[in-house]
């Protein structure tokens, strides 16, 4: 079956999917933005699991992803990925952002998960221009889905702000 690619305006902490993705930092110890919202809503079990991963592998590199329980969230798991801090003209930056989406989806498939929701990684505190980030995110997800047909049931972009929501709406209509 073809994977559904969907869009929602709202708060990702409310999504009852197999996994929601967190725009974390490499310490995995929480922060502001969506990371702060996920840890606040999910409670201490998520942080405990992040600390166990830190003890094992010393955090998470930019573009990589790790998985924890979902604590008190409606989602069963949280996939924590670390987006790049934006730097204009650096060719590695879009590659690293694309890796966040690709590696998060790969981790979901490895764990037998079927539904995954993403926030707009790097477009808040990390300063990635929203339109460019939208192009990278949609491109990376579509590439993964065409390479792994039927592996997932639904991938959803959850946009907190109106600007991102409109960009994704236009992009997803354009891409069919
Ligand atoms: N649900 C969905 N999206 C949200 C929510 C929410 N509850 N809250 C914010 N957003 P940011 P980054 C959107 O800053 O740029 C943290 O301190 C927000 O509108 O959360 O990757 C980490 O610890 C924006 O579009 O993440 C890192 O240090 C998007 O989430 C750093 O911020 C990403 O904004 C990561 O920065």
**pLDDT tens-digit series, residues 73-87:** 999 999 999 999 999
> Would the CB of 62 count as within 6 Å of ligand 1?
no
> Would the CB of 13 count as within 6 Å of ligand 1?
yes
Which CATH number applies to 4-175: 3.40.50.1100, 1.10.10.10, 3.40.50.150, 3.40.220.10?
Answer: 3.40.220.10
Confidence at residue 1, expressed as pLDDT on a 0 to 100 scale: 80
Integer angstrom CA distances of residue 34 from 46, 56, 83, 92, 131: 14, 25, 12, 24, 19
Spacing, Cα 95 to ligand 1 middle (Å): 19
- Residue ranges per structural domain of the chain: 4-175
Atom number in ligand 1 closest to CA 83: 21
Atom number in ligand 1 closest to CA 27: 23
**pLDDT tens-digit series, residues 122-174:** 999 999 999 999 999 999 999 999 999 999 999 999 999 999 999 999 999 87
pLDDT at 10 > cutoff 90: yes
Rounded average pLDDT over 42-63: 98
Spacing, Cα 1 to ligand 1 middle (Å): 32
Q: Report the nearest-CA residue for atom 19 of ligand 1.
A: 160
Q: Which residues are catalytic?
A: 35
Q: Report the nearest-CA residue for atom 28 of ligand 1.
A: 25
pLDDT at 51 > cutoff 80: yes
> Would the CB of 42 count as within 6 Å of ligand 1?
no
pTM of the predicted model over 0.95? yes
* 37-42, Cβ contacts within 8 angstroms, sequence gap of 24 or more: 37/11, 37/12, 37/13, 38/12, 38/13, 38/73, 38/78, 40/13, 41/13, 41/72, 41/73, 42/13, 42/70, 42/71, 42/72, 42/73, 42/78
pLDDT at 176 > cutoff 90: no
Q: Does residue 127 contact residue 86 with C-beta atoms inside 8 Å?
A: yes
Question: Can you give the C-alpha Rg of the chain in angstroms?
Answer: 15
Q: Does residue 159 contact residue 168 with C-beta atoms inside 8 Å?
A: yes
């Amino acid at each position: 079956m073809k994977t559904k690619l969907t869009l929602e305006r709202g708060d990702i902490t409310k999504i009852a999917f197999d996994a929601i993705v967190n725009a974390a930092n490499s310490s995995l110890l929480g922060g502001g933005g969506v990371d702060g919202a996920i840890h606040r809503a999910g409670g201490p079990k998520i942080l405990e699991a992040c600390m166990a991963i830190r003890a094992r592998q010393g955090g998470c590199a930019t573009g990589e992803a790790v998985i924890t329980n979902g604590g008190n969230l409606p989602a069963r798991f949280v996939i924590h990925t670390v987006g790049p801090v934006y730097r204009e003209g650096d060719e590695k930056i879009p590659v690293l952002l694309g890796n966040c989406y690709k590696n998060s989806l790969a981790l979901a498939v490895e764990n037998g998960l079927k539904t995954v929701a993403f926030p707009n990684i790097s477009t808040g505190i990390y300063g990635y221009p929203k339109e460019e980030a939208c192009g990278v995110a949609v491109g990376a997800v579509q590439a993964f889905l065409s390479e792994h047909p039927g592996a997932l049931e639904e991938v959803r972009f959850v946009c907190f702000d109106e600007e991102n929501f409109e960009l994704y709406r236009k992009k997803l209509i354009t891409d069919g």
